[in-house]
């Protein structure tokens, strides 16, 4: 897919490059939508909340972001999702951060 909304981190990155602080982007992507859909149990990590967590990496470089009309916004920051946990279980692990080192699994090679 090569459009304006590839994934959530792409949309979040656009806001970062428009000058919105990382803290505000996180708020706009978590608790604010939960409040809009009247699901106050979502969007935060309070005691008793469902433990859905995304570990994000900030990349710096030269990046292009498309909008719905295929116009490009040039930016210098991009968020990447490294790891996602859903109710405490790893469901996405881009670089194997939660995995056992292969040398421990298979022995020295």
The tens-digit pLDDT sequence of the chain (109 residues) is: 556 668 999 999 999 999 999 999 999 999 999 999 999 888 888 888 877 899 999 999 999 999 989 999 999 999 999 999 998 899 999 999 999 999 999 987 6
Q: What is the pTM of this model?
A: 0.83
Rounded Cα gap, residues 106 and 6, in angstroms: 37
Q: Are 75 and 10 in contact (CB under 8 A)?
A: no
H-assigned helices in the chain: 8-17, 22-29, 31-36, 102-106
Which CATH architecture group holds 8-106? Roll (2.30)
Of 11, 8, 9, the residue nearest 68 (C-alpha): 11
Q: Are 87 and 50 in contact (CB under 8 A)?
A: yes
Q: Helix 22-29 to helix 8-17 angle, to the nearest 10 degrees?
A: 140
């Amino acid at each position: 897919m090569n459009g304006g909304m590839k994934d959530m981190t792409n949309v979040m990155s656009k806001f970062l490059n428009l000058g919105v602080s990382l803290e505000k982007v996180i708020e706009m992507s978590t608790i604010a939508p939960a409040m809009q859909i009247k699901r106050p149990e979502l969007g935060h990590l309070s005691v008793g909340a469902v433990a859905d967590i995304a570990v994000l990496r900030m990349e710096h470089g030269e990046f292009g972001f498309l909008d719905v009309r295929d116009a490009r916004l040039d930016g210098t920051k991009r968020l990447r999702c490294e790891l996602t946990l859903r109710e405490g279980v790893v469901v996405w692990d881009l670089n194997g951060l939660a995995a056992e080192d292969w040398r421990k699994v298979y022995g020295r090679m």
